[in-house]
Chain A
Amino acid sequence: MKQHSPPPRLSLRGITKQYPGCLANDDVHLDIAPAEIHALLGENGAGKSTLMKVIYGLVKPDRGEVLWDGLPIEVKDPAQARKMGIGMVFQHFSLFETLTVTENIALALGDDAGALDQLAEKIRTVSEKYGMTINPEREIHTLSVGERQRVEIVRCLVQNIKLLILDEPTSVLTPQEVDSLFITLRQLASEGCSILFISHKLNEVKALCHNATVLRAGRVSGECVPAEEDTTSMAKLMVGDDTPVSTTYPKKLRSTPLLCISDLNLHSDDPFGVHLKHINLTVNAGEIVGIAGVAGNGQEELLASLSGEHLCPDGKTITFAGDAVADLPPDQRRRWGLGFVPEERLGRGAVPEMSLTENALLTGFLSGLLSKGMVAWKKAETFADQIIDQYRVKAAGRHAQADSLSGGNLQKFIIGREIMQNPKILIAAHPTWGVDIGAATAIHKALISLRDKGTAILVISEDIDELFLISDRIGAICNGALSPVKPTPESSIQELGRMMAGDFSQSAHEGSATL
């Protein structure tokens, strides 16, 4: 145990929380000192979220106690947590889109908010002090994702804050935004505020955090000082010893265009949508092209155009091996040989109330699961079993409803379903989002072997490390425009970060078409 002269700001003692069929937290101990930046590391499903909800009073633990400044307390609800000085920045922002920044913050402050104009002044002062300028009068729906996160953080800072909890805060930020967030957090810690930084990104934890607690399957699997560890040893703590955690894949450059997008423009009807501007992109047979970008920069619109959910009047805007398809609906594109993994798993990737077999059938019916117009249930069940088996989907069986799976497991199932149909073109949004490292490696390997069979693969992801790992060529989308797409070895994280922020400087004037 670490020795601190004052008692830890927060101390968790033997926290245990059992959900039906899942032990989310099992005897978890955790200490955070004042002014300490503490990392809570773990894969998806390791129990990080549950633990954090226990601290914030959203979940009541079955056993264990919480000590605050050395005194045992029971956090009944978020309001009490806030009064104690605990602030939380959620992964999925808890902001109200039709209200202004000030109103949003006033809501969270409860009766301490005071008059709105004074609060606005305070917001301005605090946000400038920590280098996160925001305009208090703006309505949330007009703000970018990065700005929304600032609002969440400032919302915690305007109160007397002693512990700030951040849940995967960097997943929505460009690398440059991550850097400035870290500067803010260090400043905050130096003033005595404790920070609990929840993440699965080892590099960030190494760069920022003083201490780390690693969770695996609900238990503390280790504690370490990130600066003194290398990422491999921390990854081992996260996933266990037997899983290979890092590999590299050979990069290939190909020249047989399979998927071509030429001058795609799309005017989004969604008030919060993005208009696509002159998108040009070629994906060759046997290569993986990766598109990075902060969420909400046109990814959804691009995906909708590619899947066929949004039809273009001119079919030649998008071609599959020369066939004009931009005016064809999704099923005809699939018949051609398109595989598609959408961003939303529930609702678009899978029907929540249907069993895995039925969900497998939804896109798999083209590959021999029908006979004379009737469903061949035996074959469909075999197909579902194969996916579950091969992608190690944790589920109660092929009869399990899709919404009973955890996000990561459902993702494995959907990816597996598409890959096993051997598509000629595969479009995958966030292929490993929320998936543990072991399974992510399996998905990466499957993608690479699909590539080597000659499939053209387009991956759209917010995870830059992943894109550098698997992409043969790489680019970024920002505000509906696509950057030049370069061979991965010729690009760098810094350059990609600039492109994600909209700076396509090097070839902006020659047009964004490459290859």
Chain B
Amino acid sequence: MDIDLITNILYAMIRTGTPLLIVALGELVCEKSGVLNLGQEGMMLMGAVVGFIVTLLSGSLLLGFILAMVAGVLMSLIFGLITMELSANQVATGLALTIFGTGLSAFIGSEFVGKPIEGLDPVFIPVLTDLPIIGRMLFGQDLIVYLSFILFGAVYWFINHSRPGLVLKAVGENPHAANAIGLPVFKTRYLAIIFGGAMAGLAGGYLSLAYTPLWAENMSAGRGWIALALVVFASWKAERVLLGAWLFGLASILHLVFQGLGFAVSPNLLAILPYLATVVVLVILSSNQTRSRLVAPMSLGNPFHARG
């Protein structure tokens, strides 16, 4: 294996991992508040299609990304209203959101399939880009990749070191106790859901505006589901989400690597790797009850009813 190949693999790994990282960070914050939103895939697709159309019509990538996030937020608000105000089952609602988003995005985007736009260009950071091996990987990417680094840092700090992060964790562990000591349960959960939606929208926009600058029906191709698995894989820790996203990114380009090395392995076979890894982690986690009980937000998936 020569240096160029390694450099390229690492570059592609980060690039492929970025949408996963962004969605998973959003879902991580959402799940920390005790809300399980399975609608990631649907929110991503809506972000992708809205971002693409806006950029195509306006010519502005920035506007495309912003409205992609807005689309994700609007989708997440549907989820929020149904699960929070109407206390509907989070799992069922999330699944419905994914189905809804998949269908709606295909409908909206049918006119725009295959139309070309000018995608997001990489921004080379002088000097650093030329570092061997890691230069391209960390400093030769586009702005959204850099933004994902910042987002990771922000989420990590927020969850582990900020007071609102503490509130978030408390609400996710025991919303009733949180309410009893006067923490804003509803507000916290709404904000977490909205953040999750914004991140899913951004990741969707990244797919259609930067990763492969075009719109195709169902173009997120299961990344929303991988991100959900990723949060479990990371046992709800931000730093592991970062690592996992890049690992999963690597797993999904492995077939290219193997081709480069002269092995023929079916890409479909390799595509199961992230899920396999998640199953393994789940098994390891649940083998020890102490760990499994302390690691996941305790009220994950439980609706919170307002006091009577």
* Chain A residues within 8 Å of B, Cβ to Cβ: 19, 58-59, 77-79, 81-82, 90, 93-99, 103, 106-108, 110-111, 113, 141, 269-272
Contacts and interface: CB of A to CB of B under 8 A. Distances in A.
A96 B174 contact: yes
A96 B177 contact: yes
A168 B242 CA distance: 47
A77 B182 contact: yes
A98 B173 contact: yes
Interface string B163-188: 10011011001101110111100000
B293 interface: yes
Contact of A99 (B163, B173, B183): B173
B290 interface: yes
8 contacts: A94-B181, A95-B177, A96-B173, A97-B294, A98-B298, A106-B163, A106-B166, A110-B182
Given A78-B181, A79-B182, A96-B170, 17 more contacts: A19-B308, A59-B307, A93-B177, A94-B174, A95-B177, A96-B169, A96-B174, A97-B174, A98-B294, A99-B166, A99-B170, A103-B166, A107-B166, A108-B182, A141-B294, A271-B294, A272-B293
A206 to B, nearest CB: 30
Contacts of B308: 19
Interface string B213-248: 000000000000000000000000000000000000
Contact of A271 (B170, B182, B290): B290
A81 B181 CA distance: 10
Contacts of A103: 166
Contacts of A78: 180-182
Contacts, number: 62
A93 B181 CA distance: 11
Contacts of B266: none
A82 B176 CA distance: 17
Q: Which of A97, A107, A271 has the largest number of chain B CB atoms within 10 A?
A: A107
B144 to A, nearest CB: 33
Q: Which of B173, B176, B182, B293 has the largest number of chain A CB atoms within 10 A?
A: B182
A58 B178 CA distance: 12
A271 B293 contact: yes
A111 B184 CA distance: 13
A99 B180 contact: no
B272 to A, nearest CB: 31
Interface string B283-308: 00000011001100010000000011
A90 B166 CA distance: 21
Given A94-B176, A271-B289, A82 B182 contact: yes
